[in-house]
Amino acid sequence: MDSFNFNQYQNIVIKVGSSLIAPDGRSCSTQYCLPLASFIKKCQHLDKTVTLVSSGAVAAGVNTLKIDHSDLTLAKKQACAAVGQAKLINHWQRFFDNHVAQLLLTADDIKHPKRHQNARKTIEQLHQYAILPIVNENDTVATAELKFGDNDNLAAQVATLINADLLIICSDVDGVYNDNPHQNPQAELIPYIEQITDKTLALGKPTHNAQATGGMVTKLGAAQFASKAGINTIICNGKSEAYTSLLEHKITGTFISSNKPYNQQNKPGINIINA
Ligand code: GLU
Binding residue ranges for substrate: 55, 139, 151
* Mutation pick for ligand 1 pocket among 18, 153, 158 (CB with most ligand atoms within 8 Å): 18
Please give the distance, rounded to the nearest whole angstrom, from the Cα atom of residue 18 to the centre of ligand 1.
7
Please give the distance, rounded to the nearest whole angstrom, from the Cα atom of residue 7 to the centre of ligand 1.
30
* Mutation pick for ligand 1 pocket among 106, 146, 150, 158 (CB with most ligand atoms within 8 Å): 146
| Amino acid 35: pLDDT | 98
Please give the distance, rounded to the nearest whole angstrom, from the Cα atom of residue 81 to the centre of ligand 1.
8
Atom of ligand 1 nearest to the CA of 145: 6
Atom of ligand 1 nearest to the CA of 212: 8
Binding residue ranges for ATP: 15, 171-172, 213-219
Rg (CA), the chain: 18
Binding residue ranges: 15, 55, 139, 151, 171-172, 213-219
Q: Look up residue 164 and give its amino acid.
A: A
Distance CA 70, CA 263 (A): 51
Give the distance from CA 97 to its chain's centroid: 23
Atom of ligand 1 nearest to the CA of 60: 10
| Amino acid 260: pLDDT | 67
* Mutation pick for ligand 1 pocket among 55, 91, 102 (CB with most ligand atoms within 8 Å): 55
Give the distance from CA 254 to its chain's centroid: 14
Largest separation between any pair of C-alpha atoms in the chain: 54
| Amino acid 206: pLDDT | 56
| Amino acid 136: pLDDT | 96
| Amino acid 263: pLDDT | 47
Helix, strand counts (H, E) of the chain: 10, 8
CA geometry: angle 198, 142, 168, nearest 5 deg = 50
Q: Which residues lie with the beta carbon below 6 Å from any ligand 1 atom? A: 17-18, 55-59, 81, 136-137, 139, 149-151, 213-214
Atom of ligand 1 nearest to the CA of 218: 9
The SS3 of residue 161 is helix
Please give the distance, rounded to the nearest whole angstrom, from the Cα atom of residue 32 to the centre of ligand 1.
17
Helices (H), the chain: 18-21, 33-45, 57-65, 74-93, 107-111, 113-128, 143-148, 151-161, 198-201, 216-228
Alpha carbon distances (Å) from 48 to 109, 118, 168? 26, 22, 14
The SS3 of residue 175 is coil
Distance CA 259, CA 267 (A): 12
Per-10-residue mean pLDDT of the chain, 275 residues long, equals 83 95 90 98 98 96 91 92 97 97 91 94 98 95 65 95 97 90 87 90 63 73 95 97 97 90 49 37
Atom of ligand 1 nearest to the CA of 137: 1
Ordered by where they begin, the domains of the chain are 6-266 (3.40.1160.10)
0.75 cut: is pTM over it? yes
- List, in order, residues 6 or more apart from 226 with CB less than 8 Å away: 156, 159, 160, 167, 232, 233, 256, 258
Of all protein residues, the one whose alpha carbon is nearest to atom 6 of ligand 1 is: 149
Beta 11-16 vs 49-54: how paired, if at all?
A: parallel
Edge-to-edge, what's the strand order for the sheet holding 49-54? 100-105, 132-137, 49-54, 11-16, 166-171, 232-237, 254-256, 192-193
